[in-house]
Structure 1
Amino acid sequence: MGCSFMLVCMCFTLYVYPHLSSTAVSGLENEVDEGSLYPEILRDEAVSRLYELGKVSDAEGYLERTFMSPASVRAGYLIRSWMEDAGLRTWIDKMGNVHGRADGSNPSAKALLIGSHLDTVIDAGMFDGSLGIVSAISALKALSVRGKLGRLVRPVEVIAFSDEEGVRFQSTFLGSAAIAGILPASALQYSDKSGSTVQEVLRSNSLDATEGNLHELKYDPESVWGYAEVHIEQGPVLERVGIPLGVVKGIAGQTRLKITVRGTQGHAGTVPMSMRQDPMVAAAELIVLLENVCKHPEDFLSFDEHCKDSSVKSLAGSLVCTVGEISPWPSASNVIPGQVVFTVDIRAMDDMGREAIIYEYSKRMYHICDRRSVSCNLERKHDAGAVMCDPELTAQLKSSSQTALKKMANEFDGEVPILMSGAGHDAMAISHLTKVGMIFARCRGGISHSSKEHVLDDDVWAAGLAVLALLESDM
């Protein structure tokens, strides 16, 4: 199979900078105007709000907020109250997205959108998604308390998207895709494990999204100037180089698959091993196959003069594959299952390479299922192509990040790192609407999607200062 691969490398300049923690910014009162740093809003209050939001959960003992769950709805109202506290005009749309808008000095101008997601994975950290929402609200509040909100040259709108993780309905970006106008009407009929559809859970919260009015959520591209998102890095690079903030050059493409393996259900004690059609062992073989394909793509993908061996090997630099969920039926210790369903998440910087992996994996999957006398079905639940951030907006975000870091530690005189993102973000959906850019904030150990996820208080402060610098640059 002929193919062409391109690996977009993670690029950043390695410098040895001081670790900008709380000790690095002590004594700032003697070096810069403390008022311009807004520590009481951008650090103290923002951190307090992140911890408050981190307690809004549907589970006892860990954080879980999925699309339109009771905790998600409560979180939305809490965020809306913070938006109003910052002087923003607020509303909740038919997909549960929470909006807060400052019209600035020219309400008819193209708007800057700033946002992230309020939903979480299961057993989540409190910064993923929430940091982008809180830092944007805090930056606008800092302008509001100084009477500068009306001096914005363009409207600024903060959006807390209702779904990015895709945990409940196995389809990411329900919130941001609706705003971008790329959410299919069929998405309203997606069902969760209980059989409830997206439309039903929206209606249970008095949100009447229908196939007929879904298009009304789409923003007019001519009304939007661009989109910026602050997010934790979810990786180790910023911590390694000792810099609190980085900017994002591009985001890896992603495909989510749902694989169903069906066999013959039976008694665990009476069916001989040689006569079994066991979907569980077939699923186990398929999962090991996935690991092998994604660890060693060069052993599975063919190549010719158009696709050199070195090109195939380069795919290994960005390709990651994950099985995150396995559901057997009937799920009893003394029953050979009749069906096993598992999810596959495949990501790579190069879309053609990702498609080649899916093709090769599915071909080998059917061979394994035939050999084991079970049936297999593969469904594509989500596809998002790789996204490159807008160079001009990225340059502005880089300048704003450097301004923030220089205010916090005036010995910082280098380059903010430029990174590639292996994680998906709402910016991917919004890129279909307008130009996008992202700022990454350092997280401890690069850990995310875990209760161990952590961002230093002063790094929260730095993120808020960077958003504030972006807003002030347009005044």
Structure 2
Amino acid sequence: MAVPHPSSSSSRSHPFLSHVYHTSFHHHHHHNHPSLVLFWCLVFSLLSPLALSSSSSSSSSSSDSSSSSSSHISLGIGETEGTKHDLHQAILRDEAVARLHELGQVSDAATHLERTFMSPASIRAIPLIRGWMEDAGLSTWVDYMGNVHGRVEPKNGSSQALLIGSHMDTVIDAGKYDGSLGIISAISALKVLKIDGRLGELKRPVEVIAFSDEEGVRFQSTFLGSAALAGIMPVSRLEVTDKSGISVQDALKENSIDITDENLMQLKYDPASVWGYVEVHIEQGPVLEWVGYPLGVVKGIAGQTRLKVTVKGSQGHAGTVPMSMRQDPMTGAAELIVLLESVCKNPKDYLSCNVQCNEDTVESLANSLVCTVGEISTWPSASNVIPGQDARLFSMTYQLGCTRYVTKDRFCAPLNESTMQTQ
């Protein structure tokens, strides 16, 4: 696989996050996809006021669109003033959804979606995503960490770029919207601007990035793709190996990406050259659906700590060792799991403050701390044997931020009053 390297003039060891915007939405299982429509409110406002066209004769525009090969939808923003924003329904909804389904079929497993860092499915996804980017009028390349980039440079505009994107890898048995939604949504928005002849009228460069790794499934080391661009990935991480003994560096070389210590450092983005970053992401929980809102503006994301803990015991025959003489690590592990559950449900009952925290910190944890034991294994894993030891992987996540859940009107109206006005 060819790995184009960005030209020195643009230095495309680009920017990283000076302003971060992250949105999350719940997917409704019907054809209207209102959450996608809401997302365009944000994306188009960030791209340029010129990105949205309005028409004083909305009824005429609506009738013309029915005979067009690219049908249209209206967000309803500013309709009280007789204006509508045509957003090419065929692209922003129908084509975007079709591409989500298509990318969801690119998998290393036949029965479920699985696409990990530099796996065969991941390599098949790269030209597919690049093709979509080029279809939207973007210049594309793959960097030394396997991230896929698509960029448009306006003729006259700020040198600071807006980055948009998400990750293209998945967890095992993943949902087809996880990561892919943020990539495809960004590409679709830019394709509309290309069709309208407005791609060159953007106020700043726009770059779509499909990050090669976020989930960390293969190498148990998350954010390989974005960490490299942020300049916070240590060189030593290239030597981390998967279960087959293949290192990150080997996996890249197997796919014709010759990464070295030097060119890893070249990937770091200069923060001064980035205006901001925005990402749309499917909500991976039930809250939006539960509160009845299609969209949330994320003000904080979960930080994750993973601990592997081994509880040792004494192996023995399950039928002959009396209960009073057992040292069963499985029962000890079970007690720890229940204790962990209690701590996370009621942290105020277990945690006390020292000089590094206060009561507000504990109160925040009470509303946001989540803990999970995601993996447990025993030896020798036989029904008639008391385990000799019980190793398990604790995955404890905690979130000190929050998500603001919003309706269409509450979300779009402020944008309409400020950056979304047509100039």
The match for 2:139 is: 89
How many residues are matched? 352
Give the counterpart letter for 1:120 in structure 2.
T
Moved more, 199-208 or 80-89: 199-208
Q: Does 1:317 align with 2:367?
A: yes
CA RMSD of aligned residues (A): 3.8
Q: Deviations over 1:94-127 (max 9, x none)?
A: 2111111111224871111101011111111111
1:47 corresponds to 2:97:
yes
2:396 match: 346
In 2, the alpha carbon distance for the partners of 1:337 and 1:191 equals 28
Query: Partner letter of residue 263 of structure 2?
Result: N
SS of alignment partner, residue 251 of structure 1: coil
Bigger-Rg structure (1/2)? 2
Bigger shift: 128-137 or 248-257?
A: 248-257
Q: Partner of 1:29 in structure 2?
A: 62
Distance 1:202 1:332 in 2: 39
Gaps of 5+ in 1: 1-18, 351-385, 406-411, 419-465
Cα distance between partner residues in 2 of 1:342 and 1:64 = 23
Query: What amino acid is the match of 1:92?
Result: V
Q: 1:386-405 to 2 correspondence within 5 Å?
A: none
2: CA distance, partners of 1:341 / 1:473 = 58
Contact in 2 for aligned 1:178/1:218 (Cα 8 Å) = yes
**Cα distance, 1:345 vs. partner?**
2.4
Q: TM-score, normalised by structure 2?
A: 0.72
1: CA distance, partners of 2:273 / 2:160: 5
1:145 partner letter: I
Q: Name the residue aligned to 1:382.
A: none
Output one character per residue of 1:32-66: Cα deviation in whole Å (capped at 9) or x when no partner.
58882211111110000000111111112211112
Question: How do 1:34-433 residues align onto structure 2 when only pairs under 5 Å count?
Answer: 36-106=86-156, 109-263=159-313, 277-303=327-353, 312-333=362-383, 335-350=385-400, 412=409, 414-415=410-411
Query: Could you say what secondary structure the match of 2:368 adopts?
Result: coil
User: In the alignment, what sits opposite 1:383?
Assistant: none
1:231 match: secondary structure:
strand
**Given the superposition, is the C-alpha separation of residues 249 and 314 from structure 1 closer, same or farther in structure 2, using an over 3 Å criterion?**
closer
Contact 1:243 1:416 in 2 (8 A): no
The structural deviation recorded for 1:309 is 6.5
- Report the alpha carbon displacement of residue 313 of structure 1 after superposing the two structures with TM: 4.6
Deviates more, 1:129-138 or 1:307-316: 307-316
Partner of 1:9: none
Identify if the C-alpha distance between structure 1 residues 192 and 99 changes in structure 2 by more than 3 Å, giving closer, same or farther.
same
Q: Could you tell me how far 1:187 is from its partner in structure 2?
A: 1.5
The SS at the match of 1:325 is strand
Query: Partners in 2 of 1:100 and 1:175 — Cα distance?
Result: 15
Q: Is the 8 A contact 2:157 2:202 kept in 1?
A: no
Query: Identity of counterpart residues, as a percentage?
Result: 65
Write the distance in 2 (CA, Å) between the matches of 1:132 and 1:417: 23
- Once residues 162 and 306 of structure 1 are traced to their aligned partners in structure 2, the CA distance between those partners, rounded to angstroms, is 36
- Return the offset for 1:79: 1.0
Asked if the contact 2:375/2:393 (under 8 Å) is kept, the reply is: yes
TM-aligned CA distance change 1:332 to 1:68, over 3 Å = farther
**Structure 1 273/242 Cα, relative in aligned 2: closer, same or farther at 3 Å?**
closer
Q: Report the residue type matching 1:42 in the other structure.
A: L
List gaps (5 residues or longer) in structure 2. 1-28, 38-58, 64-72, 75-82
Return closer, same or farther for 1:238/1:277 CA change in 2, 3 Å cut-off. closer
| Alpha-carbon distance, 1:87 to partner | 1.3
